[in-house]
Each structure stands twice: as C-alpha cells, then as structure tokens.
Amino acid sequence: MSPTPDAVIRQWFKEVWDEGQEDAIDRLCAVESRVYGLTDPAGPPLVGPEAFKPLFRTFREALGDLTIVVERTVVQGDMCAAHCRVSGRHVGTSFGGKPTNRPVAFQGMVFARIQNGQLVEGWNCFDFLTMYQQLGWISNPPAPQV
C-alpha cells in the first residue's frame, strides 16, 4: 500500500530539505514530475529529479541550518496542500551574492499531486521577497498608513 499524500509531503521536507538527503529526491520525485514556481514564474517547470537537484544544491549551499517545518496539510484525493515555515542562515554564495550570515525566516505553500508514493506535480509559492529583505538585498517598503 502506498503512503498517504500527507506522509509523502512530510517525508519530502524532512529528508530532502531538513536532512539534505539528495538521494531522497530520486526516491520521492517521479521521473516525469513537474515542479512549478521555484524558478522563473513564467518559465517552464522543472521536469524530473535531475532538473530539481541543482535547485536543491543552490538552497542547501546558500542557507546553512536550513529547516522547513510543515505546519499543516490538507489532503483531497491524491492532492496535498502544505503550509510550511522556512528558516536558515545565509552562509553561501549560490544565491549570487556574498554571504550575509543573516538569519532568514519566511513561509510558503506547496500543492502537490502524489501517486504511488512519489511527487508527480508540485506548485510552490514561497515568500522569497521576505527572504531577500531579510538578507538586505531589497529594502523594506513603507508600511501602509492606517
């Protein structure tokens, strides 16, 4: 019996992101998987584990002590929505700038379709703007006046 979509998404974040197990990408990501929203929003999806691994390496190198906590999930059939909280410290150069050694903490959502214990489609929306503001690369806009 295949694991539930909730179990797969939690295993994905624990093994791939928290523990940095690159080989888990091959186990948990289908060969023809499609991942949207982590690169150019208007661009094509990342297709398959080999296309996903460079993104994984970029984030793992840039953010030391990277942790992604799955706060909650909602499952409907083979779809799982996950609300995530991300934290880490900017220690590497793979984002294209010098390490700031600043902590980052932001949130995001993932909608994933799971089949036979693997991710086959994923739509991601993470608050990278907040991360860039915390790194000091983008200034914070003025707060709205109430």
Across 8-15, average pLDDT: 97
CATH code assigned at 100: 3.10.450.50
Tell whether 146 is covered by a domain. no
Tell whether 145 is covered by a domain. no
Chain Cα centroid distance, residue 124: 7
| pLDDT above 90 (res 139) | no
Give the pLDDT band (50/70/90) at residue 82: very high
DSSP H or E run through 53: helix 48-62
Name 146's Cβ contacts closer than 8 Å, sequence gap at least 6: none
Give the pLDDT band (50/70/90) at residue 43: confident
Q: Look at residue 144 in the predicted model and tell me its pLDDT.
A: 82
pTM of the model: 0.90
| Domain containing residue 111 | 5-135
Q: What is the mean pLDDT of the chain?
A: 94
Across 17-39, average pLDDT: 95
Three-state SS string over 62-127 comes to: HEEEEEEEEEEEEEECCEEEEEEEEEEEECCCCCCCCCCCCEEEEEEEEEEEEECCEEEEEEEEEC
Q: Look at residue 142 in the predicted model and tell me its pLDDT.
A: 78
Tell whether 20 is covered by a domain. yes
For residue range 96-116, what is the model confidence (pLDDT) as tens digits? Answer: 889 999 999 999 999 999 999
Tell whether 96 is covered by a domain. yes
Tell whether 83 is covered by a domain. yes
What is the C-alpha separation between 121 and 92, in angstroms, rounded?
A: 29
Q: Look at residue 40 in the predicted model and tell me its pLDDT.
A: 75
Q: Exposure of 143 by Cβ count < 10 A (0-12 exposed, 13-18 middle, 19+ buried)?
A: exposed
Number of domains in the chain: 1
List residues bridging with 121 in a β-sheet: 34, 113
Across 33-49, average pLDDT: 89
